[in-house]
Amino acid sequence: MQLRKVTASQFIDVWSHYDVDGNGFIEGNELDAFLKEFMVNTQPFDETSFQYMKGRFLDAFDENDDDRIDISEMAQILPTEENFLLLFRFKNPLTSSVEFMRVWREFDKDCSGYIEADELKDFLEDLLKEANREDQVTEEQLLEYTTTMLQLFDQNKDGKLQLSEMAKLLPVKENFLCRPIFKMSNVSKKLNASDIDSVFNLYDTDSNGCIENEELNGFLKDLMELVQSEYDSDDIQYMKKTILDQWDFDKDGKINKNELTMLLLQQSQTYDD
């Protein structure tokens, strides 16, 4: 099975054409249409053969096994410029939302709560430098990549990336709070000290006994993703105020293990209801 070649500039057109509902995935009939147009075969498929080839295709490219293709997976599928592909190939995937929030703080240089075009350009330039590319990326290429990334990830078309949009460009390996133990019926009876310790240690990255600053923002980002897919810095700040008002018993602006325990048990009961 081979795929027809596209140029880097055509990538955004291909994605927009097949992601008909604009939900950030190519799935169902969208995926069927994509495969039928881009798969090069000298003989026509019958339906059985097509479903077989579709299964092979998903086995090869659907890295998270959700039976659909996201933007980063598509970038590995369509043959295009190597430098452009590198923007989707992170040598060290982010292990947690704490790490994500540190990257966010580094590149949101004006603290506006958004990654604007010039900040995104700096971010992409850093990614390419980390890849140790011998060939220099031109300013023109960098501007093209920035424009393309905005077209791909700026869902509300305001010319900048909010938190949830940047999170799709720079995904975290796993939202720990999405694990079944935090979503099961009667989960409050199943959460144990080991579960609480695992959550606390994930976010208390400096092991100082409390979750604060980027650690707290990373925790709040993961909590936010349990209830809504689109969010910005204002949403995180509102949740932060709500969480601290309710669960920061000693009013130090941080969350310690006892406070986290009470918070998670309450969250569990919310799922129960």
Boundary of a domain, candidates 35, 52, 80: 80
pLDDT tens-place string over residues 156-207? 999 999 999 999 888 888 888 887 666 654 444 567 889 899 999 999 999 9
Same domain, 182 and 268: yes
- Residue 34: CATH number of its domain: 1.10.238.10
Distance of CA 221 to the CA centre of its chain: 11
CA nearest neighbour of 217 among 196, 193, 236: 236
Same domain, 72 and 116: no
Which carries the bigger pLDDT value, residue 262 or residue 16?
Answer: 262
Tell me which residue range forms the domain holding 72: 2-80
3-state secondary structure of 161: strand
Top-confidence range, 35-39, 73-77, 207-211: 207-211
Same domain, 164 and 181: no
Same domain, 150 and 222: no
pTM > 0.85: no
3-state secondary structure of 263: helix
Same domain, 137 and 122: yes
Q: How far apart are CA 39 and CA 163, in angstroms?
A: 35
Tell me how many domains the chain contains.
Answer: 3
Same domain, 93 and 163: yes
Average pLDDT (261-266) is: 88
For residue 26, which amino acid is it?
I
pLDDT tens-place string over residues 200-254? 999 999 999 999 999 999 999 999 998 898 999 999 999 999 999 999 999 999 9
Question: Does residue 19 register a pLDDT over 70?
Answer: yes
Boundary of a domain, candidates 145, 169, 193: 169
Same domain, 64 and 116: no
Q: How far apart are CA 67 and CA 27, in angstroms?
A: 7
- pLDDT computed for residue 95 by the predictor: 86
Boundary of a domain, candidates 114, 141, 169: 169
Backbone torsions φ then ψ of 115, nearest 5 degrees: -95, 105
Same domain, 244 and 185: yes
DSSP state of 32: H
Same domain, 126 and 148: yes
Same domain, 57 and 27: yes
Same domain, 165 and 93: yes
3-state secondary structure of 188: helix
pLDDT tens-place string over residues 77-121? 877 666 676 676 554 568 899 999 999 999 999 999 999 999 999
Same domain, 195 and 254: yes
